[in-house]
């Protein structure tokens, strides 16, 4: 029996590559260099399945041909704004993603950013490594407490709720959230979470604002000059969702003027480029898109892709079909 041909566009954890190779005729991108649009377009004509990740842009103009061999795109990640899913469907190509498995890892990283901002950990490490630390004194690099503060969550899906759990039960934080609709009453009672119908209301009441909403035309630059203006000078912003949800230039303006206390960012509008103005600021924590970067999570993501491909090529319904 001939195995379906599968392209994996970047290197995955070794255990996943071995598992994929046992089931399919797999081609690996051994150089681990992002593929060009022309290479991705060619791949759609050669492989039965293509498995991209967030760095692989697959917009509408990539699907201009009408003769594709590819029948399924097994996206390695929960976010899929880099793929024009509707156009792909129109060409008869199914798209799947990897929900659930990266929830806790991303929520953990959002908590890390919040803690680093509150205690000025990035600034402190830079000072120490530069040999500028002169020893302990009472007013040195004072930050703020996290315990007992108010956390506003923008997007109360799986990751938002996971962060709320950690913040509320771990640090006694008050939880506010803004979402398309309220979460269940049972979950809301358990977290003692308050629903804010208006984003600006949440921004004005929160000590920390954590963005967890997906990228879409509706959420693009949702965090902008207008909404940032409602934050208090002592409040900080955290973004582990997608870079284009935040208007970076507006954020830079508010940070430079001290209109908000700080920002913790794991994602950027034009990754991997990061504005030099952000790099120059001391009141920000900048991480290189590490949200799901744990061994356990990255393996689980790959196995989720494998499960979707196995189901598809066995004539079954892939569990994560978009």
* Whole-angstrom distance, CA of residue 48 vs CA of residue 72: 7
- The pLDDT, as a whole number, for residue 79 is 85
* One domain for residues 12 and 45: yes
Position 200 in a domain: yes
pLDDT digits (tens, 9 = 90+) for 236-292: 999 999 999 999 999 999 999 999 999 999 999 999 999 999 999 999 999 999 999
The residue segments making up the domain with residue 266 are: 103-286
pLDDT of residue 1: 77
**Which is it for the CA torsion 319, 305, 81, 110, positive or negative?**
positive
Tell me, yes or no, whether 207 lies in a domain.
yes
User: b/e per residue, 40-54, with b = 16+ CB within 10 A?
Assistant: bbebbeebbbbbbbb
From the list 140, 79, 13, 145, the residue with the least C-alpha distance to 320 is: 79
Give pLDDT tens digits for 92-113.
Answer: 999 999 999 999 999 999 999 9
Report if pTM > 0.85.
Answer: yes
Does 255 map to a domain?
yes
Neighbours of 156 (CB within 10 A): 26
What are the pLDDT digits (tens) for 14-24? Answer: 999 999 999 99
Whether 180 and 242 map to the same domain: the answer is: yes
Same domain for 206 and 300? no
Give tens-digit pLDDT for 180-235.
999 999 999 999 999 999 999 999 999 999 999 987 888 899 999 999 999 999 99
State pLDDT tens for residues 58-75. Answer: 999 999 887 899 999 999
Query: Residue 65's pLDDT is what?
Result: 81
Helix segments in 69-176, DSSP class H:
85-90, 103-118, 121-129, 158-171
User: Does 201 share its domain with 68?
Assistant: no
Q: How many structural domains comprise the chain?
A: 2
Q: Same domain for 114 and 229?
A: yes
Same domain, 170 and 187: yes
Residues 150 and 200 in one domain: yes
Average pLDDT over residues 131-157: 97
> Do 138 and 94 have their domain in common?
no
Residue of 152, 91, 142 whose CA lies nearest to 118: 142
User: Rounded CA gap, 71 and 55, in Å?
Assistant: 21
What average pLDDT is seen over the chain? Answer: 96
pLDDT of residue 232: 97
In a domain, 321, yes or no: no
Residue 322 covered by a domain: no
From residue 46, give the alpha-carbon distance in Å to each of 24, 49, 307.
14, 9, 22
293 forms beta bridges with: none
* Cα-Cα end-to-end distance for the chain: 29
- The answer to whether the peptide bond before residue 44 is cis (omega within 30 degrees of 0) is no
For residue 117, CA distances in Å to 154, 177, 235 come to 18, 20, 10
Would 259 be classed as within a structural domain? Answer: yes
Residues that are catalytic: 242, 271, 289
Same domain, 193 and 211: yes
Do 110 and 250 lie in a common domain? yes
59 and 87 housed in the same domain: yes
pLDDT at 43 over 80: yes
What integer pLDDT is reported at residue 187 of this predicted model? 96
Q: What angle do CA 147, 292, 294 make, to 5 degrees?
A: 90
Residue 239 confidence (pLDDT):
98
Instruction: Judge contact between 25 and 5, C-beta under 8 A.
Output: yes
On whether both 127 and 241 belong to a single domain, the answer is: yes
CATH number of the structural domain spanning residue 15: 3.40.50.720
* DSSP assigned state of 119: T
């Amino acid at each position: 029996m001939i195995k379906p041909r599968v392209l994996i566009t970047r290197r995955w954890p070794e255990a996943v590559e071995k598992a994929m190779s046992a089931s399919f005729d797999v081609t690996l991108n051994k150089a681990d260099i992002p593929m060009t649009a022309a290479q991705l377009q060619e791949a759609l004509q050669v492989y039965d399945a293509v498995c991209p990740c967030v760095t692989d842009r697959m917009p509408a103009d990539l699907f201009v041909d009408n003769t594709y061999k590819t029948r399924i795109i097994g996206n390695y990640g929960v976010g899929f704004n880099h793929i024009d899913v509707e156009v792909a469907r129109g060409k008869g190509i199914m798209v799947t993603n990897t929900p659930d498995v990266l929830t806790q890892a991303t929520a953990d990283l959002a908590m890390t950013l919040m803690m680093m901002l509150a205690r000025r950990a990035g600034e402190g490490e830079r000072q120490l490594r530069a040999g500028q630390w002169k020893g302990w004194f009472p007013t040195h690099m004072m930050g703020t407490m996290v315990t007992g503060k108010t956390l506003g969550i923008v997007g109360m899906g799986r990751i938002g709720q996971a962060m709320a759990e950690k913040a509320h039960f771990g640090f006694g934080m008050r939880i506010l959230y803004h979402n398309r609709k309220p979460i269940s009453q049972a979950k809301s009672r358990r977290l003692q979470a308050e629903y804010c119908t208006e984003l600006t209301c949440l921004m004005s009441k929160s000590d920390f604002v954590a963005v967890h909403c997906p990228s879409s035309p509706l959420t693009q630059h949702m965090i902008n000059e207008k909404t940032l203006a409602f934050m208090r000078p002592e409040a900080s912003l955290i973004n582990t969702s997608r870079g284009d949800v935040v208007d970076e230039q507006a954020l830079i303006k508010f940070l430079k003027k001290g209109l908000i206390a700080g920002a913790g960012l794991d994602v950027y509008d034009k990754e991997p480029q990061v504005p030099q103005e952000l790099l120059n600021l001391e009141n920000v924590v900048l991480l290189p898109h590490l949200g799901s970067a744990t061994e356990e999570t990255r393996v689980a993501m790959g196995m989720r892709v494998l499960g979707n491909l196995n189901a598809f090529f066995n004539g079954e319904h892939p569990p994560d079909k978009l």
